[in-house]
Structure formats: structure tokens, C-alpha cells
């Protein structure tokens, strides 16, 4: 498996150069962050990913209106299904601006 981090990202977002070459990150592009399913995230954890991020458009800019908000709720559902065991993983929703200047790596690995 390539790396331990899985990033689901909305197709609308422009990714910075080089991110696709990183060995520690697996990218999965979605037509909209709202297409993410709870099962996909749980499956990814079963496959061994320790960190799963879903990267959606900044609030108010989703082309599907609330796809990004749906994605956030689905990540919350994953945490609900895992209860206290979710603490062993990093499961996050990231809102990213479509404008230049804010990079995915900065957002995802800011902590």
C-alpha cells in the first residue's frame, strides 16, 4: 500500500504540484466531496490507512450546494460508528479555497 494517509478530494479543487508524487499520500478524486460514503472511509481504515481526510470546497462554494457539508457529516458518522476507537485515527474534514494560495498540504498537515 502506498503510504498511510488517504485523501478524498473534490475534483473542483486544484492541487499543488508534487502532491501526487508523495509516497505517503494516496489521493482519491471525487466529483464532489458529498459523494463520499461512510463505508468508503471505514473500508480505508480496514485496509490499513491511519489518516483519512476529505477535502471539500470552502463553505458556500460547493457546486452541489451542500456536498461539502454532507461530507463533514459523513466523517462524523464514521466517528460515531467507531466511538472511542476513532481516537486512534486521524479523521478530518478539510475545507479548501478554490483560489490559489491555500495548498492542500498546508491544510492537511498544518497540525
Partner 1 sequence: MVITELKPIEKIWQNIAGFRKVLVLGCRGCSGICSTGGDREVKLLVSALNLIAEKEGKNFIALGQTLIRQCDPVALKVLPEFLKEVEAVVSLACGVGVNLIADLYPDLKVYPGTDTLFIGAHLGFGVWEERCRACGDCFIDKTAGLCPIARCPKGLLNGPCGGSQTERCEVNPEISCVWYEIIIRLEKRGELASLDEIIGPKDWRSTFGEGPRRRQREDLTF
Binding positions for partner 1, rule: CB under 8 A: 38-39, 42-43, 45-46, 77, 80-85, 88
Output the CA–CA distances (angstroms, integers) from residue 69 to 59, 72, 78, in the order listed. 8, 5, 14
8 Å CB contact between 92 and 75: yes
Give the nearer residue to partner 1 in terms of CB position, either 88 or 109. Answer: 88
Q: How far is the CB of 48 from partner 1 (least distance, A)?
A: 10
Q: How far is the CB of 65 from partner 1 (least distance, A)?
A: 15
Give the nearer residue to partner 1 in terms of CB position, either 12 or 49. Answer: 49
Amino acid at each position: 500500500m502506498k503510504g498511510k494517509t488517504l485523501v478524498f478530494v473534490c475534483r473542483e479543487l486544484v492541487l499543488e504540484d508534487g502532491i501526487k508524487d508523495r509516497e505517503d499520500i494516496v489521493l482519491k478524486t471525487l466529483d464532489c466531496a458529498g459523494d463520499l460514503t461512510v463505508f468508503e472511509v471505514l473500508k480505508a481504515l480496514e485496509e490499513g490507512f491511519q489518516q483519512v481526510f476529505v477535502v471539500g470546497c470552502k463553505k458556500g462554494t460547493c457546486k452541489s450546494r451542500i456536498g461539502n457539508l454532507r461530507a463533514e457529516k459523513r466523517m462524523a458518522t464514521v466517528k460515531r460508528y467507531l466511538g472511542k476507537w476513532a481516537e486512534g485515527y486521524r479523521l478530518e474534514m478539510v475545507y479548501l479555497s478554490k483560489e490559489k494560495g491555500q495548498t492542500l498540504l498546508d491544510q492537511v498537515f498544518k497540525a
